[in-house]
Structure 1
Amino acid sequence: MRSRTATCSCGQLRIEVQGEPLGIGVCHCLACQRRTGSVFAALAGFAAPYKVYGTATEYVRVGDQGAKFRFRFCPVCGTNLFHTEEGGDESSVGVAVGGFADPTFPPPQDSVYDCRRHSWVQLPPGTTIYEKNPLY
């Protein structure tokens, strides 16, 4: 089974995941834009088990429909590396695609909150587009 490791900018916080992603997506919601400091968040979901190395600072954000997401940041460099959903499928983890620093990482399959996508952002062909989050 393939293993991948994502790290923060300074290397203090790491997460090791196994297997292929359950899904890969981009989110254009305003909260993700503010959280990442970019115009969207690129995330890959992985099933447990996963291993975390280093120390993380946590922040819980409540989504539009009441779901609670626990984001983990490196307390040294501030990188937001991964998150889990409370009360949802807690056996999976969402990892920031950029943390893998792998230009061959597969492209997103889904794009959520397209209503907030910047007009100049182009999505890969075949990406499924949702105006909001289809899960809620």
Structure 2
Amino acid sequence: MQTRTASCSCEQLSIEVNNPPLGAGICHCFACQRRTGSVFAALAAFAPPYKATGTATEYLRIGDRGSRYLFRFCPVCGTSLFHTEEGAEAMYVAVAVGCFADPDFPPPEDSVYDCRRHSWVVLPEGTKAYDKNPD
């Protein structure tokens, strides 16, 4: 079992995952750009079990297709650390890749909302791009 820990900037909030990533991807949707303050969000999905430690503030966002995502972020430093999708909590948790502070983390396999990708962002070789979300 591979254990990884991701934490916020002030390290008040953390999440420990105990499985290899199910997959990693980047999202260029405007909601992720605003949420991260960057031009895309880099996320990795992990199957349970996972353990969150610390206090999180929650924000519910409804996606383009009506899916409901519950984002958890640190109320002290503001880092958006992880989220779950309502109805899929038992299947996966999505964690912000940068919060692992691991430059050897595997590259993204997928790029979603490529229609909103900034023209100067170059995808890693082999990354599959989707105009919006894959069906």
TM-score bracket relative to the smaller structure: over 0.9
Cross-structure match for 2:55: 55
Cross-structure match for 1:121: 121
Q: Structure 1 residue 77 and structure 2 residue 77: aligned?
A: yes
Cross-structure match for 1:30: 30
| Residues matched between the structures, number | 134
Q: Tell me, what secondary structure is at the counterpart of 2:21? A: coil
Q: Structure 1 residue 90 and structure 2 residue 114: aligned?
A: no
Contact (CA 8 Å) 2:67, 2:86: kept in 1 or not? yes
Cross-structure match for 2:111: 111
Structure 1 runs, 4 residues or longer, greater than 3 Å off:
none
Question: How far 1:60 sits from its partner (Å)?
Answer: 0.2
* Counterpart Cα distance in 1 of 2:80 and 2:64: 20
* Counterpart Cα distance in 1 of 2:31 and 2:86: 17
Partner amino acid, structure 2, of 1:6: A
Question: How far 1:19 sits from its partner (Å)?
Answer: 1.7
* Counterpart Cα distance in 2 of 1:7 and 1:116: 28
Contact (CA 8 Å) 2:19, 2:48: kept in 1 or not? no
* Counterpart Cα distance in 1 of 2:79 and 2:23: 22
Cross-structure match for 1:41: 41
Q: Tell me, what secondary structure is at the counterpart of 1:126? A: coil
Cross-structure match for 1:131: 131
Identity %: 73
Question: How far 1:112 sits from its partner (Å)?
Answer: 0.1
TM-score w.r.t. length of structure 2: 0.98
Question: How far 1:82 sits from its partner (Å)?
Answer: 0.1
TM-score w.r.t. length of structure 1: 0.97
Partner amino acid, structure 2, of 1:3: T
Aligned-residue Cα RMSD (Å) equals: 0.6
Partner amino acid, structure 1, of 2:58: E
Deviations 1:58-77 (A, max 9, x none): 00000000000000000000
Partner amino acid, structure 1, of 2:38: S
Question: How far 1:90 sits from its partner (Å)?
Answer: 1.2
